[in-house]
């Protein structure tokens, strides 16, 4: 998801303002299981806040939708993978996420399964991208990282 507010001349001054713009534009992006999904949502936000192109990493992390589903259903594989990627850039886990921090939430999936989804902490709830649009829910993340 390449959002226009990432350009320096349009960049709002505060994290709260940047997050508001990002969340308002995210649902306008067409859903694509490989290129515009819950994990690229998480990664694009990280890119805006850090200047590091996590969006490109997220788009190449899994070679297929099947591989993505496998990774995101396996907590023992997904969390260490994200920890390695994020820690390389100085982004560490937090037990007390604040506005704009990122995390992984369990979400319902077809067939009674559940998958991990990337989410962004808003004012007291987590925003995540779904095929239907943006969902903001109170939740306890599986893991969160402070940015």
Tens digit of pLDDT for each residue in 9-44?
Answer: 467 889 999 999 999 998 888 776 666 677 888 888
List C-alpha distances in Å: 23 to 45, 66, 120, 132: 9, 27, 9, 14
Average pLDDT value for residue range 129-145 = 92
Q: Kindly report the pTM of this predicted structure.
A: 0.82
Q: What are phi and psi of 144, to 5 degrees?
A: -135, 150
Q: What is the distance between the terminal CA atoms of the chain, rounded to a whole angstrom? A: 19
Tens of pLDDT, residue by residue over 78-114, are 788 889 889 989 999 999 999 999 999 998 877 888 8
Position 47 pLDDT exceeds 80: yes
């Amino acid at each position: 998801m390449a959002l226009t507010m990432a350009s320096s001349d349009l960049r709002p001054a505060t994290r709260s303002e940047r997050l508001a713009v990002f969340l308002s534009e995210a649902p306008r992006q067409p859903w694509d299981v490989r290129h515009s999904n819950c994990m690229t949502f998480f990664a694009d936000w990280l890119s805006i806040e850090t200047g590091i192109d996590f969006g490109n990493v997220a788009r190449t992390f899994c070679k297929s939708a099947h591989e993505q589903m496998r990774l995101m259903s396996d907590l023992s594989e997904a969390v260490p993978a994200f920890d390695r990627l994020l820690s390389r850039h100085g982004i560490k886990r937090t037990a007390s996420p604040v506005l704009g921090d990122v995390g992984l939430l369990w979400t319902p999936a077809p067939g009674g399964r559940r998958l991990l989804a990337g989410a962004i902490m808003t004012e007291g709830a987590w925003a995540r991208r779904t095929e239907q649009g943006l969902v903001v829910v109170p939740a306890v993340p599986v893991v969160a990282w402070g940015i």
